[in-house]
Amino acid sequence: MIIKGLSIITCLFGLFFFSSYSQSKADSSIYEHPLLIDKIESYVKEQENKGFKGTVLVAKNNEIILNKSIGDSNLTTNSVFYIASVTKQFTATAILKLQEQGKLLVNDPIAKFIDEVPLDKKGITIHHLLTHTSGLANNYVTDGIKNRQEAINVILSSHLDYNVGEKYSYSAEGYNLLAIIIELVSGETYENYISQNLLAPSNLNHTGFWGYEGNNTSSIASFNNLKTVKSLSRKVYHKGVSIANYGYKGGTGIFSTSQDLYKWINTIKYSDFLSPKSIQQLFKPYKNLKGNIINGVSYAYGWRVEYKNGELTQIRHGGLEDGIHDVYVRSYTNGEIIIVFSNSGVYKGKGKFNGKECWSIVLSMGLQDILEKNKIKVTAKK
């Protein structure tokens, strides 16, 4: 059900997101940076002592106030990490770029681009794939498949978990299919289209793709969980080499650095890289996940979005790549950005996480709490 008044909100939030940087300069709260940095570094050091290894970036008002590698002497701020499901936002942006280029519409059925779609899947649209409402499962059935038609066949021959559009259910297969549609519509490989139309214009010089690491000049953060690495299929990773395949296209498979992801977020938020209409579609709350659309978390296109009192306050997403790397990205409309990369494995501390979460989630939430609590109230002059 659409809540009355939300349509006005969603028409305005693209403009709101673009203008947030200038608004944040006039905020009634400011940070005392030296004190804030000390508290952030103390917190990160505390987590390092508990086992954290990775890279942490914190920014405010378009200024990086901390970008640091922690816990492993082999890591630098230029070390690349696989960003796993954070890849989905690149795929979603590519779809919107193709729409701007007049090559597709998000409401197009997949049958417009793919031949012989089974009857139970003919109603699936690109929008359904973007919002995880297609009914397709999350069984990673395309892992190791190199042939595009074979990947299409295995996805479309699988049973739907529920009727098309019935509800939200996370689906890697849905985003694999989006990567395939990008290829069919553009006439290029997924990697080439993303590289030429997203990475190059955004100057993401240390971002690339599973199976194409040889093109990258930065070192890849080590895989500390050797048991997990050994369990990977030889069709996706063998003798220290990742192998390009459709299981690692669209929904996962991109690698990046903290500074590249920071540049990417700023490209989306503060440039004309996407039209206002596309920005509106990218961050619109389509499927509510927690609370409600006015006050809660919803899924947009490749992002989770949080609203408070009907206003967009945060975009975020995390990713876990086969237990070897994990990442969490948080970007707020007040100008704050938190990016955490980790190769630490599962958090083993105590408390509300109970040792079940990725380190990137734990650290990003802790940093969010520090930013929120360490503001100095300024009384406006009369």
Domains in the chain, ordered, with CATH?
28-377 (3.40.710.10)
**Structure tokens given for 146:** 């190199």
- What sign does the dihedral 334-283-287-310 (CA atoms) show? positive
Backbone angles phi, psi at 267, to 5 degrees: -60, -45
Going by the DSSP 8-state scheme, the letter that residue 85 receives in this structure is: G
**Over its length of 382 residues, how does the chain's per-residue pLDDT go in tens digits?**
333 334 434 444 444 444 443 333 334 344 456 788 899 999 999 999 999 999 999 998 878 999 999 999 999 999 999 999 999 999 999 999 999 999 999 999 999 999 999 999 999 999 999 999 999 999 999 999 999 999 999 999 999 999 999 999 999 999 999 999 999 999 999 999 999 999 999 999 999 999 998 877 678 999 988 888 888 999 999 988 999 999 999 999 999 999 999 999 999 988 899 999 999 999 999 999 999 999 999 999 999 999 999 999 999 999 999 889 999 999 999 899 999 999 998 777 666 655 568 899 999 999 999 998 876 543 333 3
Q: For residue 103, give the nearest of 175, 10, 213, 197 by alpha carbon.
A: 197
Q: What is the pLDDT of residue 314?
A: 95
Burial class (CB in 10 A: 0-12, 13-18, 19+), 243: middle
CA distance 107 to 124: 9
Classify each residue of 102-119 as buried b or exposed e, where b means 16 or more C-beta atoms within 10 Å of its C-beta: ebbebebbbeebbeebee
**Structure tokens given for 10:** 């969603």
Q: What is the pLDDT of residue 345?
A: 80
Q: What is the pLDDT of residue 34?
A: 73
Task: Render 88-151 in DSSP notation, one character per residue.
Answer: HHHHHHHHHHHHHTTS--TT-BGGGTSSS--GGGTT-BHHHHHTT-S----S-TTTT---HHHH
Check if the beta carbon of residue 221 is closer than 8 Å to that of residue 341: yes
Q: What is the pLDDT of residue 3?
A: 37
Q: What is the pLDDT of residue 350?
A: 65
Q: What is the pLDDT of residue 279?
A: 96
Q: Taking the CA of residue 328 as centre, how many other CA atoms within 13 Å lie in the half-sphere pointing to its CB?
A: 15
Check if the beta carbon of residue 320 is closer than 8 Å to that of residue 333: no
Strand partners, 371: none
Write the CA distances from 101 to 95, 98, 203, integer angstroms: 10, 5, 21
Q: For residue 330, give the nearest of 281, 273, 265, 263 by alpha carbon.
A: 265
Q: What is the pLDDT of residue 23?
A: 39
Helix (H, G, I), strand (E, B) or coil at 375: coil
Task: Render 208-264 in DSSP notation, one character per residue.
Answer: EETT-GGG--SPBPP---HHHHHHS-TTTEETTEE---GGGSSSS-EEE-HHHHHHH
Whether the pTM exceeds 0.95: the reply is: no
CA distance 183 to 148: 9
